[in-house]
Structure 1
């Protein structure tokens, strides 16, 4: 299997990874950290997908991993200033550098355990670097080897980011699925 990571530009492929199984379902669409909660909480069903389609008109929303032509993984990545992490009280800013954030890693069932999350993290790093990011941050779970519920593992886990050259930058007060989240960073200069 050869995994290729590309900018997330094709709506149908993005929908495959972050959209609902039923068109009328109100699932995340990976909008929770991308847009203000007042807007996010008001949208329902198909309105969420149309919102993502409109966002894609302005450019990629992250990166997708492909096995051949099949989309098998997703990573959300954007300038931190364009996300709710810019104002998040639980995740600190360690300095004023205009960093980018990677906050969601998702691999489709049936494709897990094949290194796709590692490829997605590296793809997110390349995506940010290619767009001038001086550094990239992530806010993974510090699960210390404990099992993590797959639905809550979207933030990633510390060891995967360490393997990609990220280092601890700060503790946070954010907890997800019973595990503390930490701020990790990788310099891109």
Structure 2
């Protein structure tokens, strides 16, 4: 498998990774941290996909991993100021550096365990650097080797970010699936 990571700009590919199987389902579409909760919670069914399509008109919403032409992975990455992490009470701001945030990694079943998440993290670093970010933050689970429910592993795992050169910057008050999240940062200068 040869993985290529590129900006997430194709709606059908984004839908393959974060959209619902049923068009009327009200699943995340990876909007939870991208837009205010009131806006996110008010949207239902096909409204969510239409909203993502509209956002894509303004540019990429992160990065996608491809095996040939097949989309196999997704990572949400954007300037922190454009996300709800700008106001998040459980994940601290450590300084006023205009960092970007990486908050969601998803790999399609059948492609897991093949390095796709590592490629996505590397692609997110490159994408943030190309966008002028001085640093990229992530808020992964510090699972200390314990098994993680795949539904809640979207935040990524600390060990994967350490392998990509991220440094632990702060603990957080955020917990997913019983595991604490940590704030990690990769300087891009």
| TM-score, length basis structure 1 | 1.00
Deviations along 1:63-108, one digit per CA (max 9) or x if unpaired, are 0000000000000000000000000000000100000000000000
CA distance in 2, matches of 1:27, 1:94: 31
How far does residue 141 in structure 1 lie from its aligned partner after superposition?
Answer: 0.2
Name structure 2 gaps, 5 residues minimum.
none
> Per-residue deviation at 1:145?
0.3
- Cα distance in 1, alignment partners of residues 76 and 110 from structure 2: 21
1:174 Cα offset (Å)? 0.2
- Corresponding residue of 1:154: 154
Aligned-partner Cα distance in 2 for 1:23–1:157: 30
- Segments of 5+ residues of structure 1 without an aligned counterpart are none
CA distance in 2: counterparts of 1:171 and 1:150, whole angstroms? 22
Q: Which residue of 2 aligns with 1:4?
A: 4
Per-residue Cα deviation, 1:118-140 (whole angstroms, up to 9, x for no partner): 00000000000001000000000
2:53 paired with 1:71: no
Structure 1 consecutive aligned stretches of length 4 or more whose deviation exceeds 4 Å: none
Normalised to the residue count of structure 2, the TM-score between the two structures is 1.00
Structure 1 residue 142, shift from structure 2 partner: 0.2
Matches within 5 A, 1:35-184: 35-184=35-184
Alpha-carbon RMSD across the aligned residues, in angstroms, is 0.3
